[in-house]
Amino acid sequence: MVDLLPDRPRKGRGAVSNRSGRFEAVARIRTDDGWTADPEEHPPAVATTLTVDASRTIVTRNESPDVPFDRSINPYKGCEHGCVYCFARPTHAYLGLSPGLDFETRLFWKPEAPTLLDRELRRAGYEPRTLALGANTDAYQPVERDLRLTRRIIEVLSAFRHPFGIITKSALVLRDLDLIAPMAAEGLAGVSVSVTTLDRDLARRMEPRASTPAKRLEAIRRLADAGVPVAILASPMIPALNDHELEAILAAGAEAGATAANTILLRLPLELAGLFEEWLRTHVPDRADRVLSLIRQSRGGSLYRSAFGERMAGTGPHADLLRARFRAAVRRYGLGGRRWDLRTDLFRVPPAAGDQMSFL
């Protein structure tokens, strides 16, 4: 006979469990057959693995009225930052993997992304519009430090003078300031930095491998000093957990040089609802019921509603108050809305390798 064991948090990881995705016919459970001295004391670390994603396209298009761009590139599937609240976690279920620990440890990367992008931008009839980098998973997650895939993508965008916006919670974006700043100077680039909390301990538990809040604010400062338009994203706001920090986050971003801001109410689609509740009951058990109750009050009685127009902001008194506080704070600190209408008139197709040079 074996004993079922409760899932326990792993150092440096956000999700508590690795529960099966919604398409799987079997469920994972932790058990002890008696051979382990203390199976609950030190759960084994989970290493990050990388697998090549052989996708033949790189630009993802959308028609959602809730996002201000119609195309994006995600160099990676899965995200090592391990943010427990990440709305992209359920996408790992399409790969036959868990939206839990698998999402942050079993990553897929697209080494051919720069080549595929070059080919897409050369396509006859291509019309440039601002392209978002990192809209689903962070383009500057830790593995990017060695793989340098995002940098190679930006090099292609720079060669074509194609407008792009970066969304990240990593100070690693500063590594590519030599590419981003010249593009920004011509109205071709902007960066949005997500700061979920100013509490380093909460950030460590909630987004364990992302840059610390202080480093993200320093990244805003250095980007702004280099002339790059920066927006601060106070997202997601989680009722009774970090939403009391909204004004402080926006004030810190404005002081660092951000000129725009946005906020989104926590989204809990599909498997994420269970994973987040599990995290709450593990890390903040005294507040778990209160957090979940306020989320339901802001989601029509459910933990999530996916309708366009309300999935980002919610409804009800608590959501209304959060929006009012945000509007008042951006006025107070002189912050505007994020701009995605970057210049497209400078787009050009550079000569390809082997092309005959023009004599004209």
Report if residue 149 sits inside a domain.
yes
Q: The pTM is what?
A: 0.93
Read off the CATH number of the domain in which 211 is found.
Answer: 3.80.30.30
Closest CA to 65 of 311, 269, 268: 311
User: Are the beta carbons of 177 and 230 closer than 8 angstroms?
Assistant: no
Retrieve residue 128's tokens.
């440039």
Distance CA 310, CA 295 (A): 13
Kindly state the average pLDDT of the residues 172-180. Answer: 98
Report if residue 356 sits inside a domain.
no
Kindly state the average pLDDT of the residues 19-43. Answer: 71
Q: What is the pLDDT at residue 33?
A: 65
Report if residue 348 sits inside a domain.
no
Report if residue 353 sits inside a domain.
no
Kindly state the average pLDDT of the residues 68-92. Answer: 96
Report if residue 358 sits inside a domain.
no
- Greater pLDDT, 24 or 93: 93
Report if residue 339 sits inside a domain.
no
Kindly state the average pLDDT of the residues 307-325. Answer: 92
Say yes or no to pLDDT of 3 above 60. Answer: no
Determine which helix (DSSP H) or strand (DSSP E) holds 17, and give its type and residue range: none
Say yes or no to pLDDT of 34 above 70. Answer: no
Kindly state the average pLDDT of the residues 54-61. Answer: 92
What residue numbers bound the domain in which 177 lies? Answer: 3-332
Where residue 354 falls among pLDDT bands split at 50, 70, 90?
low
The rounded mean pLDDT for the chain is 93
Domain count, the chain: 1
Residue-wise pLDDT for 211-258, tens only, equals 999 999 999 999 999 999 999 999 999 999 999 999 999 999 999 999
Report if residue 54 sits inside a domain.
yes
